[in-house]
Amino acid sequence: MSERKRPRAMGGPRGAVAVEKANDFKGAMKDIIKYISRYKIRLIIMLICAVIGTVFSIVGPKIMGKATTELFNGLVRKVNQTGSIDFDKILRILLFTLGLYAVSALFSFIQGFVMTGISNDVSYSLRRDISKKINRMPLKYFESRTYGEVLSRITNDVDTLQQSLNQSITQLITSVTTLVGVFIMMLSINVWMTLCALVILPISFVIIGQVMKHSQKFFQRQQSYLGDVNGQVEEVYAGQNVVKAFNKEKDVIDTFTKSNDQLYESAWKSQFFSGMMMPIMGFVGNVGYVMVALLGGFLVIKNSIEVGDIQSFFQYIRNFTQPIQQIAQVSNLLQSSAAAAERVFEFLNEEEEIQDVEHPVSIEGLKGEVTFEHVAFGYNPEKIIIQDFSAHVKQGQKIAIVGPTGAGKTTIVKLLMRFYDVNKGSILLDGHNIKDFKRNELREMFGMVLQDTWLFSGTIMENIRYGRLDATDEEVMEAAKAAHAYKFIMQQPEGFQTVINEESTNISQGQKQLITLARAILADNNILILDEATSSVDTRTEILIQKAMDYLMKGRTSFVIAHRLSTIRDADIILVMKDGDIIEQGSHEELLSANGFYAQLYNSQFEKVTT
């Protein structure tokens, strides 16, 4: 079951939305830095461009202030009839300032272009590394986690990391540079005005802290209730036929209304606190402007500063508070980056399957003789489920494995294909321990047809060819004929070029099974594993599948996991498993005449129900 994505609550103050935090922030950031260090040349270029672009934009207001001063002095000279306004000088100042801003914009563009490339390369490399890692991971990893948890590493976490890196690194560099640069420029204008402006900062921090303290819990509730509401809508939409069949429309509406009311209440409170911040911050900022204006006017009268310096100072005050808010925002982005990176690198650092051996045995010339020698296994080493399994299977034999649920039937197959390794004992293939083969070469020996068919979104031709990618169209069609799938395929709108949709809902379960059988026939493996391939189909299709399976098993060693015992009467050997051990083995007739556990299982499937 995939994880349900909960939308993030929007519209709150900076940092008000609940952010997932990493368990080890420093460790996660070290992993990110180590991974992106391969792009260090581009990172240095980006850093230089970001600093230069920011510095040029910081210098602009002070130069603009000189234009204001020149205009003011010119007006004074004109009023006193001692001179006039020097428009040429003002124009030169304005053109120089415009040039500064143009250069700043150019460097900012280069910085953004380079950083976008880096973040996209990082996400591309991470997805590539994760894709390769998946193929090296042991099956037990995927069986112990949901599909959504694994998929979120490739999709949500990598996307979060990409977006956070792209925004946070450049934002952090420009914000810190702006903060330091603006502070220096303010000091260069007047120390006392700078101190006066800094007085409002503690007040701003206290207000932001109090608002966030109260709004945080409401934003968290809003996010939670939003997920609940969306989840209910999704579930009701998917199960609309069940809701109508059981006349549960009123119950569904009542449940939704309750969740929707909770969402409304938490959203209203969170948005109320969010809406309070800007007016209060605006009021505090305006108080600061008034204080600075009064002090600046006093200093102008005393000829300590020029009129244009007051204008420049006002711009710097505005530019001083903005990077503080941006740094607070970046801290949240970095938390998101660290949390996503922690999950991604945790996956990349997971223990892998051992793919190769030092001196591997070749699969060339192998026939398919299989021997289990005192095999013991448990998914948890402390809880062994297969105690002592031994069996010898000759090449070309059909072996049926039967037993109640949890007896260990499918586990035997997983051990045979080295999805797991035995705890004790050994499994031999033509006399060679399967641990002496390369895993990928060993699995080339096996063809599988499972109860749960797997088809991908593509044409029927492509799905069958998946068994052997170099097969010609004619070979694919011959395999379809052998699997008794050719007739129904040709009845499809586009024949072999008919596209199977993502959910494989445009063909029936039986047709899916016939396609997977055609795929197995095309693969032409030495050993076959059939896991109750006829359990979910109608009687007519079951006959076709059984014929295809009989064709497929000719001359091949076959392991058939069966629940319907009527389908394995002709097996050469039937292994009866219970609690991880073989308790009986023999042909169908031999086991029935022994009147043991197999006979009980077989007869129970054909008992008549009496009333």
Strand partners, 398: 558
What is the spatial distance between Cα 236 and Cα 561, in angstroms, rounded to a whole number?
Answer: 37
CA dist 31 and 35 (Å) reads 6
> How many C-beta neighbours within 10 Å does residue 587 have?
15
**Mean pLDDT within 20-49:** 83
Q: Is residue 486 part of a domain?
A: no
Outline where 137-248 has alpha helix (H).
139-143, 147-152, 158-189, 191-198, 200-238, 240-245
Higher pLDDT residue, 228 or 145? 228
Rounded Cα distance, 65 and 307, in Å:
8
Shortest CA distance to 196 belongs to which of 278, 301, 294, 303?
294
Q: Are residues 85 and 212 in the same domain?
A: yes
β 581-586/573-578 pair status:
antiparallel
Residue 170 has what pLDDT? Answer: 81
- The CA-CA-CA angle for residues 375, 377, 383, to 5°, reads 140
| 329 and 391 both lie in a single domain | no
Mean pLDDT of the chain: 79
What 8-state DSSP symbol labels residue 372?
E
Task: Confirm if 273 and 218 have CB atoms less than 8 A apart.
Answer: yes
Residue 421 to residue 429: CA distance in whole angstroms: 14
- In the chain the first and final C-alpha atoms are separated, in Å, by 41
Mean pLDDT value across residues 493-512: 82
Half-sphere exposure of 592 (CA within 13 A, CB side): 10
pLDDT at 611 over 60: no
Same domain, residue pair 301 and 179 = yes
Tally the domains of the chain.
2
Spatial distance between the Cα atoms of 510 and 245, rounded to a whole number of angstroms: 27
Q: What is the pLDDT of residue 12?
A: 40
Domain co-membership, 344 together with 377: no
4-18, 38-52, 156-170, 481-495: lowest mean pLDDT where? Answer: 4-18
pLDDT (mean) for 36-57 = 88
- Picking from 316, 348, 380, the residue at the C-terminal end of a domain is 348
pLDDT for 400 equals: 87
Find the Cα–Cα–Cα–Cα dihedral 232, 235, 236, 242, rounded to 10°. Answer: -140
pLDDT recorded at residue 7: 37
At 20, which helix (H) or strand (E)?
none
Is the CB of residue 346 less than 8 Å from the CB of residue 130? no
The verdict on 313 and 401 lying in the same domain is no
Q: What is the pLDDT of residues 284-321, one digit of tens each?
A: 767 777 877 888 888 878 888 887 878 788 777 777 77
The answer to whether residue 515 is domain-embedded is no
Looking at residue 70, which CATH number applies to its domain? Answer: 1.20.1560.10
pLDDT tens readout for residues 547-599: 777 777 888 888 888 777 767 788 888 888 887 677 888 888 888 898 888 88
Position 462 scores a pLDDT of 92
Check if the beta carbon of residue 223 is closer than 8 Å to that of residue 267: no
Q: How far is CA 264 from CA 16, 214, 218, in A?
A: 17, 17, 11
Place of tokens 């990082």: 122
Give the pLDDT confidence score for residue 40 in this predicted structure: 87
Domain-located, residue 257: yes
Q: Do 341 and 396 share a domain, yes or no?
A: no
Residue 606: predicted pLDDT: 62
Alpha-carbon distance of 22 to 332, in angstroms, equals: 11
| Alpha-helix residue ranges (DSSP H) falling in 8-39 | 25-36
Confidence of residue 281 (pLDDT cuts 50, 70, 90): low
| Torsion angle defined by CA atoms of residues 253, 256, 258 and 260, in that order, rounded to the nearest 10 degrees | -130
Helices 307-348, 158-189: axis angle to 10 degrees equals 160
At 526 the pLDDT is: 84
**Length, in residues, of the chain:** 611
Same domain, 68 and 183: yes
Which residue, 295, 320, 348, sits at the end of a domain? 348
> Is residue 3 pLDDT above 60, yes or no?
no
Position 256 pLDDT exceeds 70: yes
With bands split at pLDDT 50, 70 and 90, how would you rate the model's confidence at 45? Answer: very high
- Residue 549 to residue 530: CA distance in whole angstroms: 9
SS3 for 389?
Answer: strand
Q: What is the structure's pLDDT at 22?
A: 63
**306 CB contacts (<8 Å, ≥6 apart)?**
65, 69, 72, 300
9 — pLDDT class (breaks 50, 70, 90): very low
Burial class of residue 539 in the structure, from the number of CB atoms within 10 Å of its CB (0-12 exposed, 13-18 middle, 19+ buried): exposed
Residue 380 confidence (pLDDT) above 50? yes
Least confident of 89-98, 230-239, 436-445: 230-239
Confidence of residue 536 (pLDDT cuts 50, 70, 90): low
Share of the chain above pLDDT 90, in %: 5
In a shared domain, residues 261 and 408: no
Exposed / middle / buried, residue 501 (Cβ in 10 Å: 0-12, 13-18, 19+): exposed
The answer to whether residue 435 is domain-embedded is yes
Indicate if the pLDDT at residue 106 is higher than 90.
Answer: yes
Classify residue 14: in a domain, yes or no: no
Q: What confidence category does residue 379 fall into, taking pLDDT thresholds of 50, 70 and 90?
A: confident
Alpha helices, H only, 468-508: 473-482, 486-490
Mean pLDDT along residues 526-540: 71
The answer to whether position 468 is within a domain reads: no
**β-bridge mates for residue 432, sequence order:** 429
Per-residue pLDDT at 472: 92
> Between 240 and 208, whose confidence is greater?
240
pLDDT digits (tens, 9 = 90+) for 425-439: 999 998 899 888 888
What is the 3-class SS of 105-152, one letter each residue?
A: HHHHHHHHHHHHHHHHHHHHHHHHHHHHHHHHCCHHHHHCCCHHHHHH
- Let me know how many helices (H) and strands (E) the chain has, helices first: 20, 12
Q: What is the CATH number of the domain that holds 390?
A: 3.40.50.300
Highest mean pLDDT among 151-160, 191-200, 439-448, 583-592: 583-592
In a domain, 95, yes or no: yes
Q: What angle do CA 159, 165, 319 make, to 5 degrees?
A: 130
Are both 343 and 405 inside the same structural domain?
A: no
**Beta strands 424-429 and 370-377: pairing type?**
antiparallel
- Same domain membership, residue 314 and residue 425: no
Q: Give tens-digit pLDDT for 437-477.
A: 888 888 888 887 776 777 888 899 999 998 888 899 999 99
Query: What is the predicted pLDDT for the residue at 216?
Result: 65
Which domain does 52 fall in, by range? 25-348
pLDDT above 70 for 361: yes
**Run of H or E including 591:** helix 588-594
Burial 464-484 (b: 16+ CB within 10 A, else e): bbbbbeebeeebbbbbbebbb
Mean pLDDT along residues 67-80 = 77
Tell me which H or E stretch contains 371: strand 370-377
Q: 198 with 284, same domain? A: yes
Residues 192 and 302 occupy one common structural domain: yes
Tell which wins on pLDDT, 281 or 82: 82
502 assigned to some structural domain: no
Instruction: Find all residues with CB under 8 Å of 592, minimum gap 6, and list them.
Output: 598, 599, 602
pLDDT at 83: 73
Cβ–Cβ contacts within 10 Å for residue 559, how many? 24
- What does the longest C-alpha to C-alpha distance in the chain come to? 129
The fraction of the chain above a pLDDT of 70, given in percent, is: 88
- So what's the pLDDT on residue 287? 75
